[in-house]
């Protein structure tokens, strides 16, 4: 059977000295599958949109800033991740510079600058703890992983570079 995932972007915006990451605290809607969790910024790709354009649009919509330097850090396939078991495939970016001033919130929740060394202390999807070190490490190679979920629970994680 062909793999037909929802294609998405996920971006982690660094502050000027790269010591903090702009995260969204998904606390605006109690019916949100991500409610109470912290996440990077991003969302679904639109038709006729490449992944870089989609990432820039999502960052602009969610944080009111414009990306200047973005590095593709990797891709992740999330079979079964959606609330109804949908498959997702994400392009993960590190946004190293931007213009503008980030807004404080959006319809999904509050935006917060979090020290990089505190990221793992935040409530987040358990799988995020596995791939986030790859987003921020010094290895110049992109990672490409698969992270199946079933009933909202991580089943496994594997990746290559």
3-state secondary structure the chain: CCCCCEEEEEEEEECCCCCEEEEEECCCCCCCCCCCCEECEEEECCCCCCHHHHHHHHHHHHHCCEEEEEEEEEEEEECCCCCCCCCEEEEEEEEEEEECCCCCEECCEEEEEEEHHHHHHCCCCCCHHHHHHHHHCCCCCCEEEECCEECCEECCCEEEC
Structural domain harbouring 122: 6-160
State how many domains the chain has. 1
Q: What is the mean pLDDT of each successive set of 10 residues along the chain, which is 161 residues long?
A: 93 98 93 88 96 98 97 97 92 98 96 97 95 97 97 94 97
Residue 1: inside a domain: no
Q: Specify the pTM.
A: 0.95
Q: Would you state the pLDDT for residue 154?
A: 95
Q: Is residue 51 part of a domain?
A: yes
Is residue 95 situated within a structural domain? Answer: yes
CATH of the domain at 49: 3.90.79.10
On whether residue 98 sits in a domain, the answer given is yes
Residue 151 within any structural domain of the chain: yes
């Amino acid at each position: 059977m062909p793999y037909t995932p929802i294609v998405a972007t996920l971006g982690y915006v660094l502050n000027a000295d790269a010591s903090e990451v702009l995260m969204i605290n998904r606390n605006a809607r109690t019916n949100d599958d991500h409610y109470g969790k912290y996440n990077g910024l991003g969302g679904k790709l639109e038709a006729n949109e490449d992944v870089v354009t989609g990432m820039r649009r999502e960052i602009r919509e969610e944080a009111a800033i414009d990306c200047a330097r973005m590095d593709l850090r990797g891709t992740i396939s999330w079979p079964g991740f959606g609330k109804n078991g949908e498959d997702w495939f994400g392009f993960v970016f590190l946004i190293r510079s931007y213009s503008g001033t980030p807004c404080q919130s959006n319809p999904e929740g509050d935006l917060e600058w979090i020290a990089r060394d505190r990221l793992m202390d935040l409530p987040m999807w358990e799988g995020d703890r596995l791939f986030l070190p790859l987003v921020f490490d010094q290895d110049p190679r992109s990672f490409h992983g698969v992270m199946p979920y079933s009933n909202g629970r991580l089943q496994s994680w594997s990746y290559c570079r």
